[in-house]
Structure formats: structure tokens, C-alpha cells
């Protein structure tokens, strides 16, 4: 027997998470719309919902899904979401995807499945480990559902994007397209760690609030769930707890609670443990077209771009290689531009031009690859990106953009670059030009940069890094919401008054300069410690003094040559470091300054390096480090900017084009 329901009577997420809804039910949705998502754009099919349909995996474990069926006599494709965040929630909030019945109203069977050990599904949850095989089995099960035409597409964001990539690398025959949003290319580098540094503010709260907590509910472990719920009430305190391999609310002595957290601490290098899950090592297994979405302030933007190029160059089939597409907005992980989004204030102020088109473009993608509609979704450029500052969309056939000019901006100072009150300078003139006789020759170059030659004559700057007093994270690329972690755009000017941040600024620009692409810092540095970190942050300084972060990066010194085989540094010896400051697209307007911050910590986004050289996460000892940054002719420390010549980026658009 079926019933018609409104939005307010939909099954609550909490009930699903506790695994109480094990009985089948079917619900008929009327065509009326909900407040969010917006009511427009529904298809012609009415929809019937059946809850908790069982799918048997190859090892006998039963996973359960809610299935939304269009009322049509024709056989139709399947759209699948595999989630650990609750199948009733279906990643609709906050202002993300349309409801499953919206997609189903366009005459698709929509399947929303709780993954293994989560929600109403059986088995034991372990991060990533089962999602390749379970994804394969679920795709093939969904393809055989009554009314299916045998073609399956997948969609979803974050870990739900990971479930798509892991399934795609397993190459199930019935999978024909995926649409992963905000997700990575690797679960070691760019997810759990970044160039050797542990992503503390993402991993610890995320696991405690979601995957470890909901897995505890699934297996009926009320005590473990309660401990994590209590920890979440004071997570700011727990982020200072060390050693990480003894975090109490994850109960290190109970292997059922969060074994994947402690395994992540035990495996701080890119070893076989992580490589078993890696996507970027398996692009040659991906057979399907990929439409990806991400944001400049998301935790996974670097990996999303790597995935785009990886499939484009190495995909297993011509259809995959020729149909890798990505859309990049000014977004955070959950903040997709819309008024209802949880987005940091400055990004919120951009307005409707920044709204994510994920639902309409996803539907068009599935219409083309699952239904064969000729809707131009695969025509035109393959990269659509939002340029901040200009606040317009642009398109490109490739990433990096063809015609990009790499431009070095060199660090210089009079030896006192510590804090914004110091004398740090960014110059497009190399260090040998930063002298009293040659520096003024660059006073009138095209960007209006003039080195204060009498001041910028020192060869280095110094600061003390104290792990017990790390530099606070204000904005950046992280997960999952700006209200609970460091992400998004924020004014850095107050932070720049710290003496452990070196600040290098250009003169006001005479003309606009577009920077779009991967930012890199070449840093010549020495430390008094056997291991340490170096951080870099690119800033857009407004004429009124606001200093808005664009991109940031970190490099653990011992990982400077290899993420698999770290080597300690010799205290006092100069090393060349490459800091991967993450990609961005920004128009620096006339009168603005380019600024680079250099320091050694960014907490809690990254776990502070204790400077001891001891194994990561196993002790609570620390020591101060004396850091020296060199910028003379033999050590030309610089930020390398991908500058787009005027006119090269093409028309400025107010919306993402369909094709």
C-alpha cells in the first residue's frame, strides 16, 4: 500500500541512522515543489518510493537502499548515490542536491543506498575499503532492477564522490557516467595528509561527527556514539590533544570504534596501505565520462583537477578520455553559493552569479549518456571556472589554461619581514636587481612594482616557530563547513601582526592581473630542528588594507623529496623546498597588492609539527625551531604565479554554459 507525502513527512535522518527503519514502505510523491530545492524544473513523471530494498554483495552482506521509481511503462536508466550520510538525507541539505524524487520525476529510477556498516545496511564499516567491490556489485544490482534499461549513472559529493570513483576504477559494465563533486584523487595526499602534514581540522571532527559516529549507531554501540557526541561539543579543545594515537573518544583500545583513524596515524607516508585505495593510480581503469564539480576553497580542489586531467589523458576508453569535464566555482566544501548555503560571509556576498549549476548540469549529463539525448552537454570547452575579483565565469579547453605565463615574484626585505609591520617586498625583479643601484630600474614596470632598494638589501629573514603557539587558521581550503573548520575567504590583516609570519607585498598594481592556475612557492630555508613545516599563503590586498586569502599550502621538511620515503633535515643546512600552494583564479585589480605570507604552522587546519623529528602522532613532546628564509642571488625564493595575458581568458559569463 502506498501513501502520498509532503516534504515535512519525509523519513527523518536520525531514524535512518539508527537503523530502525527496516520494514519496506512505498510513498508516492506529488508534483508539488519544496522550499528547498526550488520548485521549478520537475519532470513529467510522478514518482513512487520504496524503502530499504536489499542488495546482496558478493560476500553475502546485505546493503539497503531507497528506490524512487517513475511511473512510466518505458524502461529507464538508473541514477545511483551510495552514501554514509543517511539515504533519507540524500545530500539535499544544506542547499546541495535536488531531492531524489526530483531526479526521478525526469523519468529515472533513483537509488539511494546506505553503504556497508552505515544507516540501515549490514556489514562493518571501514573507510574506503569496501567501496570498490560494493560499488561494482551495487551498480550491477541496480542495472537489473525492474523497469531499468541496464544503464547506471552515479552522483554525490565528498565521500559520496569517493564511492563513485572507487566504483569506476572497478569498471562495472553497467556504469555509464559519474558526476562526483568535491572529492579527491588520493586518500593519502590531498585527503588525510597534505605534502606530509596531517589535516587535523578536517579528519578528526569529520570522523567524530559522521563516519565513526554513524557507524557506532549502526552497530548499536551507544557508548561509543555518546563519547563522540560529547567530544563534538568541545572539539576545539580536543584538536589540541596529543598524542593523536591516543585520542580518547576514538577509544584506541577498542578496534571496533575508529580503526581507520588510528591506521591513518600509523601510516603517515604514501605506502601500500593508501595505494590500495588510490584513484590517481587507476585512471586507466576508468571507462566512463566524468562531470566533476569543485570550489577554490574546497579541501579537494587539487585532487578534482588531477582527476580531470588523469581521465582526460589516461582513461580506459575513448568516451572517457573525450568527456572529462569540470566546473569550478568560488565555493567551499558545503557552500555552493546559494543563499541557503553555509558559506563564509565574503563568498556569500558574491551573489547569485556564483550559484552552483550542479543539478541541471548533472541531469543534462545523464540525459546524454544514459538516454542518448543530443543536448550539446559534451560540446564546447571542458573546463568552466569562476574568476574571483572579476566575479565572472570563463571556459577553457584545458587545464592549465593554454597561454598561461609563469611569472616569478621574488622575496626581498631589509631583513625585517616579520609581520605586516616589517619591510618584506615582493618584486618581479630577481634578487640581483634588488640593490641600491639596480632596484629603481624596475620602479616603472608594467605592474607598477617598485622595490624599495635602500631597504631590500638583506639576504634573509628569520622567525621563531613555537608549536605550543601555532599560527591560527583563518579561512583556507578544508572541510566541511566554515563554521566548524578553516575554509573560505577571510581578512588576514589582524593575523599578519604576528612576529612568526613573514609578509612580502608588491607595490600597488598599475593594471589588472589575472592569476588562474596552480600557485607554487620555491623557498630556500634552513631550520634549527631535525624536522619542521613551512607554509605559504597567497593574498589579495585591497586598497583599504583588507588582506583576503586566495590559496595556501604546506610542506613538511622531511617530505621535501618524497611522500613515501621521508628523510630528516640537517639542522642549519639550506634546502630548497617546493610548496604547492593550491590553485585559484583571481583578478587582482589596479591598486591592489599581491602578498605572500611565509610561516611554519596553520592550526588547526594542519597538525603543528613538533619539530622533534620523532614518528608522527606518537608523543606530545615539542621544541621551538629557529627558521631562516633566504632570498639572495644564490637562493632566489619566489612565488610562481600563473598569469593569464589580457584577453586570453575570453568572454566573461554570468552563468555556467550548458555546453
Question: What cell was used for 574?
Answer: 639550506
Who wins on pLDDT, 452 or 621? 621
Same domain, 206 and 173: no
- Please list the active-site residues: 158, 298, 333
Quick check: 4 pLDDT over 60? no
Question: pTM for the complete prediction?
Answer: 0.92
Residue 40 pLDDT class (50, 70, 90 cuts): confident
Same domain, 424 and 544: yes
What does the alpha-carbon distance between residue 44 and residue 106 come to, in Å, rounded to a whole number?
A: 6
Same domain, 241 and 312: no
- pLDDT at residue number 27: 37
The average pLDDT across 79-96 equals: 95
pLDDT, tens digit, 9 for 90 and up, residues 130-175: 999 999 999 999 999 999 999 999 999 999 999 999 999 999 999 9
What does the alpha-carbon distance between residue 523 and residue 303 come to, in Å, rounded to a whole number?
A: 23
Quick check: 337 pLDDT over 90? no
- pLDDT at residue number 429: 95
Of the residues 243, 267, 291, which one is the last residue of a structural domain? 267
pLDDT, tens digit, 9 for 90 and up, residues 304-333: 999 999 999 999 999 999 999 999 999 999
- pLDDT at residue number 302: 97
Same domain, 124 and 213: no
Same domain, 567 and 528: yes
Range of the domain at 224: 197-267
Q: Is 341 helix (H, G, I), strand (E, B) or coil?
A: coil
Quick check: 520 pLDDT over 50? yes
Quick check: 192 pLDDT over 70? yes
Has residue 657 been placed in a domain?
no
pLDDT, tens digit, 9 for 90 and up, residues 88-122: 999 998 889 999 999 999 999 999 999 999 999 99
Total count of domains within the chain:
3
Has residue 291 been placed in a domain?
yes
The average pLDDT across 608-618 equals: 97
Do the bridges between strand 383-387 and strand 324-329 make them parallel or antiparallel, or are there none, so unpaired? parallel
- pLDDT at residue number 464: 98
Same domain, 172 and 222: no
CATH number, domain of 119, equals 3.40.50.1820
Quick check: 445 pLDDT over 70? no
E strands present in 6-102: 26-29, 47-56, 62-70, 76-83
pLDDT, tens digit, 9 for 90 and up, residues 448-501: 444 444 456 789 999 999 999 999 999 999 998 877 778 999 999 999 999 999
pLDDT, tens digit, 9 for 90 and up, residues 375-418: 999 998 999 999 999 999 999 999 999 999 999 999 999 999 99
CB 242 within 8 Å of CB 619: yes
Quick check: 7 pLDDT over 60? no
Same domain, 349 and 431: no
Q: Is 557 helix (H, G, I), strand (E, B) or coil?
A: helix
Has residue 396 been placed in a domain?
no
- Which DSSP state fits 612? S
Provide the sign of the torsion angle of the four alpha carbons 308, 309, 314, 320, taken in this order.
positive
Run of H or E including 260? helix 259-266
- pLDDT at residue number 8: 32
Same domain, 448 and 534: yes
CB 139 within 8 Å of CB 114: no
CB 203 within 8 Å of CB 264: yes
Has residue 649 been placed in a domain?
no
Of the residues 344, 361, 379, which one is the last residue of a structural domain? 379
- pLDDT at residue number 21: 29
Exposure string over 348-361, b if 16+ CB within 10 A, otherwise e: bebeebbbbbbbeb
Residue 433 pLDDT class (50, 70, 90 cuts): low
Quick check: 343 pLDDT over 80? no
Same domain, 636 and 530: yes
Has residue 355 been placed in a domain?
yes
| Residue for grid cell 605586516 | 420
Of the residues 379, 414, 448, which one is the last residue of a structural domain? 379
Has residue 527 been placed in a domain?
yes
What does the alpha-carbon distance between residue 381 and residue 148 come to, in Å, rounded to a whole number?
A: 32
Same domain, 223 and 310: no
Orientation of helix 211-218 relative to helix 200-209, angle to 10°:
20
Has residue 459 been placed in a domain?
yes
- pLDDT at residue number 432: 83
Same domain, 284 and 168: yes
CB 455 within 8 Å of CB 423: yes
Same domain, 255 and 294: no
Has residue 653 been placed in a domain?
no
- pLDDT at residue number 437: 33
Question: What cell was used for 82?
Answer: 551510495
Residue 658 pLDDT class (50, 70, 90 cuts): confident
E strands present in 200-342: 290-295, 324-329
Average pLDDT, the chain: 91
Amino acid at each position: 500500500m502506498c501513501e502520498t507525502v509532503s516534504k515535512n513527512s519525509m523519513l527523518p535522518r536520525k531514524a535512518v541512522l539508527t537503523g530502525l527503519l527496516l520494514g519496506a514502505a512505498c510513498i508516492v510523491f506529488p508534483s508539488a515543489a519544496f522550499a528547498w530545492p526550488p520548485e521549478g524544473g520537475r519532470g513529467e513523471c510522478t514518482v513512487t518510493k520504496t524503502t530499504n530494498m536489499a542488495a546482496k554483495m558478493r560476500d553475502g552482506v546485505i546493503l539497503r537502499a531507497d528506490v524512487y521509481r517513475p511511473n512510466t511503462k518505458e524502461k529507464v536508466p538508473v541514477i545511483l548515490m551510495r552514501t554514509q550520510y543517511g539515504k533519507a538525507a540524500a545530500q539535499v541539505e544544506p542547499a546541495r542536491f535536488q531531492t531524489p524524487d526530483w531526479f526521478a520525476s525526469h523519468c529515472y529510477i533513483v537509488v539511494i543506498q546506505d553503504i556497508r556498516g552505515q544507516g540501515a545496511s549490514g556489514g562493518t564499516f571501514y573507510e574506503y575499503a569496501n567501496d570498490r567491490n560494493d560499488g561494482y556489485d551495487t551498480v550491477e544490482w541496480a542495472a537489473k532492477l525492474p523497469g531499468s534499461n541496464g544503464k547506471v549513472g552515479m552522483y554525490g559529493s565528498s565521500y559520496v564522490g569517493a564511492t563513485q570513483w572507487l566504483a569506476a576504477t572497478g569498471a562495472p559494465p553497467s556504469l555509464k557516467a559519474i558526476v562526483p563533486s568535491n572529492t579527491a584523487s588520493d586518500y593519502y595526499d590531498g585527503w588525510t595528509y597534505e605534502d606530509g602534514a596531517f589535516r587535523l581540522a578536517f579528519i578528526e571532527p569529520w570522523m567524530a561527527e559522521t563516519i565513526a559516529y554513524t557507524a557506532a549507531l549502526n552497530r548499536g554501540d551507544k557508548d561509543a556514539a555518546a563519547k563522540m557526541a560529547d567530544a563534538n561539543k568541545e572539539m576545539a579543545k580536543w584538536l589540541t590533544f596529543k598524542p593523536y594515537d591516543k585520542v580518547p573518544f576514538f577509544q584506541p583500545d577498542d578496534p571496533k570504534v575508529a580503526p581507520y583513524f588510528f591506521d591513518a596515524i600509523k601510516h603517515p607516508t604514501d605506502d601500500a596501505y593508501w595505494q590500495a585505495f588510490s584513484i590517481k593510480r587507476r585512471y586507466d581503469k576508468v571507462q566512463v565520462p566524468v562531470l566533476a564539480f569543485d570550489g577554490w576553497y574546497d579541501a579537494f580542489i587539487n585532487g578534482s583537477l588531477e582527476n580531470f586531467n588523469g581521465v582526460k589523458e589516461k582513461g580506459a576508453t575513448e568516451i572517457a578520455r573525450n568527456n572529462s569535464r569540470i566546473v569550478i566555482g568560488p565555493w567551499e566544501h558545503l557552500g555552493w553559493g546559494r543563499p541557503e548555503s553555509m558559506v563564509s560571509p565574503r563568498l556569500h556576498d558574491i551573489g547569485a552569479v556564483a550559484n552552483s549549476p550542479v543539478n541541471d548540469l548533472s541531469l543534462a549529463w545523464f540525459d546524454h549518456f544514459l538516454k542518448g539525448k543530443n543536448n550539446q552537454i559534451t560540446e564546447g570547452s571542458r573546463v568552466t571556472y569562476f574568476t574571483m575579483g572579476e566575479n565572472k565565469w570563463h571556459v577553457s579547453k584545458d587545464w592549465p589554461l593554454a597561454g598561461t605565463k609563469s611569472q616569478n615574484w621574488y622575496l626581498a626585505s631589509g631583513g625585517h619581514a616579520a609581520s605586516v609591520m616589517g619591510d618584506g617586498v615582493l618584486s618581479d625583479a630577481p634578487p640581483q636587481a634588488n640593490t641600491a643601484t639596480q632596484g629603481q630600474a624596475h620602479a616603472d614596470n608594467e605592474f607598477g612594482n617598485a622595490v624599495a632598494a635602500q631597504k631590500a638589501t638583506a639576504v634573509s629573514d628569520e622567525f621563531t616557530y613555537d608549536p605550543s603557539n601555532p599560527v591560527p587558521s583563518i579561512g583556507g581550503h578544508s572541510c566541511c563547513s566554515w563554521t566548524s573548520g578553516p575554509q573560505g575567504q577571510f581578512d588576514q590583516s589582524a593575523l599578519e601582526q604576528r612576529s612568526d609570519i613573514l609578509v612580502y607585498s608588491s607595490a600597488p598594481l598599475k593594471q589588472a592581473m589575472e592569476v588562474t592556475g596552480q600557485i607554487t612557492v620555491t623557498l630556500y630555508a634552513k631550520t634549527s630542528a631535525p624536522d619542521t613545516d613551512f607554509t605559504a599563503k597567497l593574498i589579495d590586498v585591497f586598497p583599504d588594507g583588507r588582506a583576503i586569502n586566495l590559496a595556501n599550502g604546506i610542506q613538511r621538511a622531511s617530505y621535501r623529496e618524497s611522500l613515501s620515503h621521508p628523510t630528516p633535515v640537517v639542522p642549519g643546512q639550506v634546502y630548497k623546498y617546493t610548496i604547492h600552494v593550491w590553485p585559484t583564479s583571481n583578478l587582482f585589480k589596479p591598486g591592489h597588492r599581491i602578498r605572500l605570507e611565509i610561516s611554519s604552522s596553520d592550526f588547526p587546519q594542519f597538525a603543528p609539527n613538533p619539530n622533534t623529528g620523532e614518528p608522527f602522532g606518537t608523543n606530545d613532546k615539542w621544541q621551538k625551531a629557529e627558521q631562516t628564509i633566504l632570498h639572495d642571488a644564490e637562493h632566489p625564493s619566489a612565488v610562481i604565479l600563473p598569469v593569464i595575458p589580457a584577453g586570453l581568458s575570453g568572454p566573461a559569463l554570468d552563468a555556467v554554459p550548458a555546453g
